[in-house]
Structure 1
């Protein structure tokens, strides 16, 4: 993953981001020497979100199969979580 500085971004703008993203899926923007932001194209972002949702679904199925869930009414649920 490549890094660019906030100052480089200020002077070169979107063209700098586009240039870096043709070679890498992600890039890091540093501010005063510290990594602060990650930039990626929407296709890669959507892929990562899909992976995140797949992982959550897998975790939920594992919890269900292991019996780690509560069956209750909406009212019971609200009462339980507000205690």
Structure 2
């Protein structure tokens, strides 16, 4: 279950409000003037999501290589290609 914390609660209770809201690896939504503004997640969860993102990017790169969607070039030519509009 996603917990909500108001900006005022965060201001008055600080990290204890975040600790309570993110208990059991839950994410917390910080609301500002009644609107969802930020999401806070435990660092281990962040690392897991980042790892998933990197695995997905690696898989996409491998598929591109297997399907011939890549360019072989020198560093100089690469820099020239990506910086020339």
State the TM-score, normalizing by the size of structure 1.
0.91
| Separation in structure 1 between the aligned mates of residue 61 and residue 26 of structure 2, nearest angstrom | 29
Residue in structure 2 matched with residue 11 of structure 1 by the alignment: 12
Residue in structure 1 matched with residue 33 of structure 2 by the alignment: 32
Q: In the TM superposition, what whole-angstrom CA distance separates every residue of 1:11-39 from its partner, at most 9, and x where no partner exists? A: 11111111111145211101112211111
**1:64 to 2:36 alignment:** no
Q: In the TM superposition, what whole-angstrom CA distance separates every residue of 1:46-81 from its partner, at most 9, and x where no partner exists? A: 111111110110111111111111100001101111
CA RMSD of aligned residues (A): 1.2
* Structure 2 unaligned regions, length at least 5: none
Aligned residues: 83
Runs of 4+ deviating beyond 4 Å: none
| Separation in structure 2 between the aligned mates of residue 24 and residue 30 of structure 1, nearest angstrom | 19
Residue in structure 2 matched with residue 48 of structure 1 by the alignment: 49
